[in-house]
Amino acid sequence: MNRSYLLLGSNLDDRVKNIEVALYELKNSGIIISKKSSLYNTIPWGYTEQPEFLNQAIECLTSLNPIDLLRTVKKIEKKMGRKDTIRYGPRIIDIDIIFYNNIIFKSEELIIPHPLMHKRNFVLKPLCEIAPNFIHPELKLSIKELLDNL
C-alpha cells in the first residue's frame, strides 16, 4: 500500500458536511484513511473575495498509483458538485494530493509534492498535526520546519 497525504477544503454550503461526504467517498473508493487532522477555519488564498475555507489534512493508504488517485479525487469532486470557476475561487470541495510516499512525480496532470504546499499555512498547519516529521522529498525539511519557516 502507498501512503499519501491529501488536503480537503470547502467554502460553500455546509462545509463540515462537505468534508464528511468527501471522506466517505474516499473510503468508498477503497482508500483507507489512517489519520485525520482537526478541521481548520482558514482565510482564502489567491482570490480573497470569498467565504472562509474549512480544511483538513488526511493520511491515507491506497493501492492506486498517483494518476489513478488524482482521477479518483477529481471524480469525487465532480460527483459532489464541484464546478470549474475562477482559479482559487469558491468551491464545494477541493481535494489536493500533497505527498505520495516520498516520491517526486511530474506530469502534465499532476505534480507531487504539491508545488505550492510549502507556502500555504492552510496546508502546513493541519498536515503538521498528523505528520510533523514527514520530510519533503525536494526541500529536505520536515513539515514542522516548513511551518516554522513560513
Q: Catalytic annotation on 91?
A: yes
Which residue type is seen at 38?
S
Q: Catalytic annotation on 84?
A: no
Annotated catalytic residue within 3, 14, 91, 148 = 91
Q: Taking the CA of residue 6 as centre, how many other CA atoms within 13 Å lie in the half-sphere pointing to its CB?
A: 28
Q: Catalytic annotation on 94?
A: yes
Annotated catalytic residue within 14, 68, 71, 96 = 96
Q: Catalytic annotation on 96?
A: yes
CA 93, CA 122: separation in Å to the nearest integer? 15
Cell of 143: 513539515
- The C-alpha cell 517526486 sits at 104
CA 38, CA 24: separation in Å to the nearest integer? 16
Return the exposure string of 10-40: e unless at least 16 CB atoms fall within 10 Å of the residue's CB, then b: bbbeebeebbebbbebbeeeebeeeebbebb
Annotated catalytic residue within 3, 82, 84, 148 = 82
Annotated catalytic residue within 14, 15, 84, 94 = 94
Active-site residues, by number, are: 82, 91, 94, 96
